A and B are shown apart, each in its own frame.
Chain A
Amino acid sequence: MPLQLLGPGGLGPDLLLAAVFLPLAAALVCFLLPRLAATLGLISALLTAAATLALMLGVLAGGGMEVQLGGWQAPLGIRWRSDGLSAALMAMTAVVGAMVSLYAAAYFRHTAYERTYFWPIWLVLWAALNALFLSADLFNLYVTLELLGFAAVSLTALGGGAAALTGAIRYLLVSVLGSLAYLLGVALVYHGCGTVDIALVAACVPDAPRPALKVAVAAMIAGLLLKTALFPFHVWLPPAHGSAPAPVSAVLSALVVKASFYLVLRLWLDVLGGGDGDGSGRWLAELLGVLGAAAVIWGSVLALRQARLKLLIAYSTVAQIGYLFMAFPLAVAGGAAAWTGALYLALAHGLAKAAMFLSAGSLLRFGGHDRIAELDSAVHRLPLTLTAFALAGVSIMGLPPSGGFIGKWLLLEAAFQQGRFVLAAVILLGGVLAAAYVFKVVGHAFTPAERERRLRSVPPGMEWSALLLALAAIVLGLTLPLISPLLQVGTDAAVAPPVSAAVALTAGGAV
């Protein structure tokens, strides 16, 4: 079977290394040869995407795989591991990354300064993302988290204006603060367990000293929530995401925020085994659920009130992040399908939000502004871009057959099964509010123009990449039979905890 060639016994480990080292090496070359940056950057981005997608097929066919960097074994060496959860997120990153690269090649064509610096920083960011998804070591995760943060901050500042710089500095302060809180947790885990390898820490967690472990978990999760911009830690996100150039906003909103969410999920499932066993895990999950629900309402309401398109999309990200955390109380109470729902929402949001920011960038380029009330008649000039925006909106609202629909459906099902009607109501209300802000934009775009303005043409590469991403978000909803088994690969407790674990958790919660 040809797919087995991509698995653990064949090319798999090489693909795993390529997913990190290819963009990293390409970033260095792009930095050294600024004249060739755009060409080299685009080629290496497409190669990276191909390697990552091949890795996903390998994981799907042959199961999870591992690499010990430099041949050093776990307690001292660094372990990289690819299972279903990381392969799915890396594949989403690859699709978004390839499309954003195509878009950026057209977007930065006439701006030499930004073209020179976008490619090296973006490729470093991609390498950091892949390394983060692959790391199976709490300290190495810290390093990748910081690399990711610095690359993201530098991209935010790319525009160079006062607004971009202010957004970038605020982002940097928040990002470093979050990483330090995470590192404090790692220090306390090392104190309790004497190792930072995730598998070894997980084995030691049941015997670790309780108070230190609780402080460690609290510090790590608080730091990551700050970086994920969960309500009430979201205030830094809209200015940073709203002031960056369009491809950068797409990358920040679709991918960077997902990385710290992935880390919360990884800690929760692999290190804590789905809760920390003495009832406080249950409380933490409830707290995350309440914050998530608040984020859905607050983010959607603020999105509705924005006058500028990019800020509207940024606040919509705040709302959509809320959904990801609403899965925690549902999953801990036994609805393991809620994890699949949250992951589906994360993947669908990544594709759809990138499509939205890219279309916003095209509209901005076209009309010279992104004031929603003055988007009139854009639909006649940029039909592809408006289609992309509307299709992405379908996924954000959670209408069938999009990926967002599957995710929300799984969450709703779990909520109804457990009688959590408040959570179910918030999930539905969030969908209605999302429909309101998407139609606010689409409605203005359909109104006839009142007066002629100077309009600039938009290259087809910018329109098509956004449309392809939006289509991917829709098609994602039809791939449940493919992605559902992928998410189970290489997981013992992750995504679908065995019945015994679920029972133990419920019993633990009752104590």
Chain B
Amino acid sequence: MTQPVFWGLVGMALVVMGLYALIVHAHLLRKVLALNIMSSGVFLVFIGLARRAPGEGTPPAADPVPQAMVLTGIVVAVAATGLALALIVRLRALTGRTTLGDEGGH
């Protein structure tokens, strides 16, 4: 197993775990954490599998472009987390709920 394939598989495993947690957990904080784990997985796939010139047999060198993109992605993920947490805090202050409330628990 080559290194890119290894990191790609680890990233995909994180994505699948995050997706599972996002679906099964009702608590909103857990959903936000699950999304964060998913995005870490996606970033890992992005960096792990990146290569500059497809098809060449050269030894893999670090490709700076996806790293710059993932940095942007991290900023987006932080912004999403902040927005989600602000909304959840407000929802809890208003209603005392920390779930979406459509699973029967009011």
Partners in one complex: yes
Answer whether residue A133 sits at the interface, using C-beta atoms and an 8 A cutoff: no
Would you give the shortest CB distance from B72 to chain A, in whole angstroms? 6
Would you give the shortest CB distance from A17 to chain B, in whole angstroms? 21
How far does the alpha carbon of A161 sit from the alpha carbon of B8 in the complex, in Å? 42
Q: For residue B63, which residues in chain A have a CB less than 8 angstroms away from its CB?
A: 194
Do the beta carbons of B87 and A168 come within 8 Å of each other?
yes
Contact code string B1-41 (vs A, CB < 8 Å = 1, else 0)? 00010001000000100010010000010010001001100
Q: For residue A76, which residues in chain B have a CB less than 8 angstroms away from its CB?
A: 65
Do the beta carbons of A194 and B95 come within 8 Å of each other?
no
Q: A191-231: which have CB < 8 Å to B?
A: 191-194, 196, 204, 207-208
Contact code string B28-68 (vs A, CB < 8 Å = 1, else 0)? 10010001001100100110011111110000000101100
Do the beta carbons of A187 and B49 come within 8 Å of each other?
yes
Would you give the shortest CB distance from A445 to chain B, in whole angstroms? 31
Do the beta carbons of B49 and A172 come within 8 Å of each other?
no
Q: For residue A157, which residues in chain B have a CB less than 8 angstroms away from its CB?
A: 87, 90
How far does the alpha carbon of A153 sit from the alpha carbon of B94 in the complex, in Å? 18
How far does the alpha carbon of A173 sit from the alpha carbon of B46 in the complex, in Å? 22
Q: For residue B95, which residues in chain A have a CB less than 8 angstroms away from its CB?
A: 162
Contact code string A123-158 (vs B, CB < 8 Å = 1, else 0)? 000000000000000010011001000100110010
Q: For residue A176, which residues in chain B have a CB less than 8 angstroms away from its CB?
A: 35, 39, 80, 84
How far does the alpha carbon of A207 sit from the alpha carbon of B50 in the complex, in Å? 17
User: In the complex, which of the residues B39, B52, B54, B101 has the most CB atoms of chain A within 10 Å of its own CB atom?
Assistant: B54
Q: Which of A161, A165, A173, A194 contacts B54 (CB 8 A)?
A: A194
Would you give the shortest CB distance from A73 to chain B, in whole angstroms? 13
Q: For residue B31, which residues in chain A have a CB less than 8 angstroms away from its CB?
A: 173
Q: Which of B22, B35, B50, B101 contacts A190 (CB 8 A)?
A: B50
User: In the complex, which of the residues B28, B72, B80, B90 has the most CB atoms of chain A within 10 Å of its own CB atom?
Assistant: B80
Do the beta carbons of A139 and B69 come within 8 Å of each other?
yes
Do the beta carbons of A150 and B87 come within 8 Å of each other?
no
How far does the alpha carbon of A190 sit from the alpha carbon of B54 in the complex, in Å? 9
Do the beta carbons of B49 and A177 come within 8 Å of each other?
no
Q: For residue B80, which residues in chain A have a CB less than 8 angstroms away from its CB?
A: 146, 150, 172, 176
Do the beta carbons of B94 and A191 come within 8 Å of each other?
no
Q: B61-85: which have CB < 8 Å to A?
A: 63, 65-66, 69, 72-73, 76, 79-80, 83-84
Do the beta carbons of B42 and A184 come within 8 Å of each other?
yes
User: In the complex, which of the residues A146, A179, A184, A188 has the most CB atoms of chain B within 10 Å of its own CB atom?
Assistant: A184
How far does the alpha carbon of A188 sit from the alpha carbon of B8 in the complex, in Å? 10
Would you give the shortest CB distance from B64 to chain A, in whole angstroms? 10
Do the beta carbons of B22 and A177 come within 8 Å of each other?
yes
Look across to chain A and name the residue whose beta carbon is closest to the beta carbon of B55.
Answer: A207
Q: How large is the interface on A (under 10, 10 to 19, 20 to 34, 35 or more residues)?
A: 35 or more
Do the beta carbons of B88 and A173 come within 8 Å of each other?
no
Do the beta carbons of A165 and B35 come within 8 Å of each other?
no
How far does the alpha carbon of A161 sit from the alpha carbon of B54 in the complex, in Å? 52
Q: For residue B72, which residues in chain A have a CB less than 8 angstroms away from its CB?
A: 139, 143
A interface SS class: helix
How far does the alpha carbon of A186 sit from the alpha carbon of B42 in the complex, in Å? 10
Given A153-B83, A191-B50, verify A169-B45 contact (CB < 8 Å): no
Do the beta carbons of B45 and A150 come within 8 Å of each other?
no
How far does the alpha carbon of A76 sit from the alpha carbon of B66 in the complex, in Å? 11
How far does the alpha carbon of A150 sit from the alpha carbon of B69 in the complex, in Å? 19
Look across to chain B and name the residue whose beta carbon is closest to the beta carbon of A138.
Answer: B69
How far does the alpha carbon of A283 sit from the alpha carbon of B92 in the complex, in Å? 45
Contact code string A262-284 (vs B, CB < 8 Å = 1, else 0)? 00000000000000000000000
Do the beta carbons of B100 and A170 come within 8 Å of each other?
yes
Do the beta carbons of B91 and A154 come within 8 Å of each other?
no
Given A169-B84, A194-B54, verify A150-B79 contact (CB < 8 Å): yes
Given A150-B83, A166-B91, A169-B100, verify A194-B42 contact (CB < 8 Å): no
How far does the alpha carbon of A179 sit from the alpha carbon of B84 in the complex, in Å? 15
Q: For residue A161, which residues in chain B have a CB less than 8 angstroms away from its CB?
A: 94
Look across to chain B and name the residue whose beta carbon is closest to the beta carbon of A191.
Answer: B49
How far does the alpha carbon of A76 sit from the alpha carbon of B72 in the complex, in Å? 15
Given A177-B35, A193-B54, verify A183-B87 contact (CB < 8 Å): no
Answer whether residue A43 sits at the interface, using C-beta atoms and an 8 A cutoff: no
Q: For residue A169, which residues in chain B have a CB less than 8 angstroms away from its CB?
A: 28, 84, 87-88, 91, 100
Answer whether residue A180 sits at the interface, using C-beta atoms and an 8 A cutoff: yes
How far does the alpha carbon of A180 sit from the alpha carbon of B83 in the complex, in Å? 16
Q: For residue B55, which residues in chain A have a CB less than 8 angstroms away from its CB?
A: 207
How far does the alpha carbon of A135 sit from the alpha carbon of B11 in the complex, in Å? 28
Q: For residue B87, which residues in chain A have a CB less than 8 angstroms away from its CB?
A: 153, 157, 165, 168-169, 172
Look across to chain B and name the residue whose beta carbon is closest to the beta carbon of A195.
Answer: B65
Q: Which of B4, B46, B49, B76 contacts A143 (CB 8 A)?
A: B76
Given A143-B76, A187-B45, A190-B46, verify A165-B91 contact (CB < 8 Å): yes
Do the beta carbons of B100 and A187 come within 8 Å of each other?
no
How far does the alpha carbon of A161 sit from the alpha carbon of B95 in the complex, in Å? 10
How far does the alpha carbon of A194 sit from the alpha carbon of B56 in the complex, in Å? 12
Q: Could you list 13 A-B pairs, sorted by A, with CB under 8 Å?
A: A139-B69, A142-B73, A153-B87, A168-B87, A169-B84, A169-B88, A169-B91, A173-B84, A180-B35, A180-B39, A184-B42, A187-B49, A208-B54
18 further interface pairs, Cβ-Cβ under 8 Å (given A142-B73, A187-B45): A139-B72, A143-B72, A146-B80, A150-B80, A162-B91, A162-B95, A165-B87, A165-B91, A166-B100, A169-B100, A170-B100, A172-B83, A177-B19, A180-B38, A183-B73, A184-B42, A184-B45, A186-B46
The 10 closest A-B pairs by CB, nearest first: A187-B46, A191-B49, A165-B91, A146-B76, A187-B45, A162-B95, A184-B42, A176-B80, A169-B87, A183-B42
